[in-house]
Structure 1
Amino acid sequence: MPVNFDLNDLYAFRALVEYGSFRVAAESICLSPSALSRRIEKLEAALGAKLFDRTTRRVTLTLYGQNFAERSAQLLDNVESMLADIDKVSEERTGLVTVAAVPSAAYYFMPDVIRRFQARYPRVRIKLIDSSAGNVMEAVTRGQADFGICFAGNLPSGVEFVPLVEDVYVAACRRDSPLAKRKSLTWETFYQQDYIGLDKTSGNRNLLDHLLGHIQPARPSLCETRHVTTMLGMVEAGVGIAAVPAMSMPRAEHSLLAHVPLTEPVVKRTVGLIRQSGRIQSYIAVELEKLITERYQLPKDAEP
């Protein structure tokens, strides 16, 4: 027989059995009496039998209703016991999840994600491979990481991309710099300053070279680094300014560092989760993916 009712209908039935009054039973499960009545009618229609005899003052179970009450009570007890067991299994689950992430994304996403995930799965370990975009892609395609967090680029075949955050580039400078007081800075003006660059192995460098190829820097960079975090250390030390993804900047107000939006053009990158198509993930890897996407995934109409 097709099942045309759900657990909420059974909980409504149980409440009415317990209290014998539509008003009191409805209050106990936060429904209106009319909504409770509709649930009972739905259940009776699905079963093809009358469950209650109704009078103006009280409702009582029919013979069929008494039998159904015993069986449905056992069913609900089993469901609640199963859910309790699942919670217990979650708490006791162990294992390792490996995530590859570009350093700025690791800084922006992972501390909060790891804290929340370990509150749910305290015995699961997370290994974080924080490296360049190319290394992140390689770790995912070779199966060295369960999934990765990287910015959109030329994805190899067989790799899926789930957009998470749209990130803009900003000029990082010291708070005591005159530039920190500006509302924005054009790229041409940026390249007229003493600035720190990224070397050609950096995914950020490749992205900027592609999008800013029409702009000829007025001077070369003072020095080049491989990672954005090293650039920020140089800025903090007063070596120069740097163009960095906004998500790489300190999330709380920093005593030394500030940032200014870069314009003409505004340069954006989309950071997302990458995974191998068709790969069967472990339960805990799927749960960690779910935590990240539910918290950060871009709305469909905002995806590139």
Structure 2
Amino acid sequence: MRINYDLHDLQAFVAVAQRASFRQAAADLFLSQSALSRRIDKLEDSLGVKLFERTTRRVQLTNVGQTFLVNVRTALDGLEDAVLGVADLAAHRTGSVTLACVPSAVWHFLPDVLARFSERFPRIRVRVHDESAQDVLNLVLAGVADFGINFTGAENPEIEFEPIYVESYVLAMRSSHPLAGRKELSWKETMNERYISVATSSGNRTVIDAALAGVEKHPVILCEVNHVSGVLALVEAGMGVAAVPGLSVLPGRQDTIVGVPLVNPAIHRTLGLIAKRNHTMAPAARTLFDMLREALVKPQ
């Protein structure tokens, strides 16, 4: 069967069925009766069936027409729901946004912006993947996350990287440590400390090792864990000190852990908003991305 009808023909069919009158249906649709009759004829010819019994006194659905009416109404209702659903998404009334970011960004950058976003769009569900830098990059590349906050990705040709914050590395230690009151510390001054570190597979470890490549003497690492959160837990327990990004020394730990800037060499990393290049975000994701950009991007 060759399909030779369109949405207007189906709407004309429903109007005639509801009114049982070509004259009244034509008035409802702002059509002439002849134009309406042509649409019904076209639909019947395309389907190869008779949908209406027509006499000078009445218009009545055939048995086939009655079955077809049920199906058409279901299809039109579904189409209307789909159109309204797209309109809701475009108006940010429903939908979801998935964001991937390194853990320190969750604490420092997201709460205020997410609170404002949720207030404006209470029915938009936001999912946050707080993961390692490599996992954040992979989630964005795979399209699992709409965008991310990360300190890696600028070198990837598939990623657009927009800097938002330059972060310095500090020596994290218990607040009772003899060096806790210093304004800064050179790496040389810390060589006799018991160092705790993230594993060599960590992006943070890569940053530190690269910066210290030209330094004659390196700290002796006595304990390694996979994540900065684990490192800080051990520091908090008094097991040693650790070189970590400054943002990771969370405000909630100020009574037990302090971070003293490390110099000679000073080590920095740049956090940025990352998104897959040439990827069009859904409206809700783009709105949250723009809100974060507005709140976080500062001239460096």
TM-score w.r.t. length of structure 1? 0.66
Cα deviation digits, residues 223-260 of structure 1 (max 9, x gap): 11111111111111101111111111123572111111
Give the structure with higher Rg (CA): 2
Q: Is the 8 A contact 2:168 2:246 kept in 1?
A: yes
Q: Distance in 1 between matches of 2:281 and 2:113?
A: 18
> Contact 1:108–1:248 at 8 Å: present in 2 too?
no
> What are structure 1's unaligned runs of at least 5 residues?
1-87
* 2:215 paired residue number: 215
Partner amino acid, structure 2, of 1:233: A
- Correspondence 1:107-126 to 2 at 5 A: 107-126=107-126
Give the Cα–Cα distance (whole angstroms) in 2 for the partners of residues 127 and 147 of structure 1: 11
Detail structure 1 runs of 4+ shifted over 4 Å in the superposition.
Answer: 88-92, 216-219
Maintained 8 Å contact 1:91/1:123: no
What letter is aligned with 2:277? S
> For the structure 1 residues 153 and 266, does the alpha-carbon distance in structure 2 shift closer, same or farther, using more than 3 Å as the test?
farther
1:283 aligns with 2:271: no
* TM-aligned CA distance change 1:266 to 1:144, over 3 Å: same
- Point out where structure 2 has 5 or more consecutive residues left out of the alignment: 1-87
1:150-299 matches, within 5 Å, as 150-152=150-152, 155-217=155-217, 219-251=219-251, 254-299=254-299
Are the equivalent residues in 1 in contact too, given 2:89–2:95 (CA < 8 A)? no
Deviations 1:202-238 (A, max 9, x none): 1111111111112244552121111111111111110
Question: Which amino acid is 2:158 matched to?
Answer: G
User: What residue number does 2:133 align with?
Assistant: 133
Between Structure 1 and Structure 2, how many residues are aligned? 213
Structure 1 CA distance, aligned partners of 2:240 and 2:161?
A: 35
Write the letter of the residue equivalent to 1:203.
Answer: G
Q: Secondary structure at the match of 1:213?
A: coil
**1:262 Cα deviation from its structure 2 partner:** 0.5
Q: Is the 8 A contact 1:90 1:121 kept in 2?
A: no
RMSD: 2.0
- Percent identity between the two aligned chains: 39
State the SS of the aligned residue for 1:98: strand
**AA partner of residue 190 (structure 2):** F
TM-score, normalised relative to structure 2: 0.67
Question: Does the C-alpha gap of structure 1 residues 184 and 219 become closer, same or farther in structure 2, counting only changes over 3 Å?
Answer: closer
Amino acid in the other structure paired with 1:276: K
Deviations 1:152-204 (A, max 9, x none): 45632121001000100011111111110112111122232111011011111
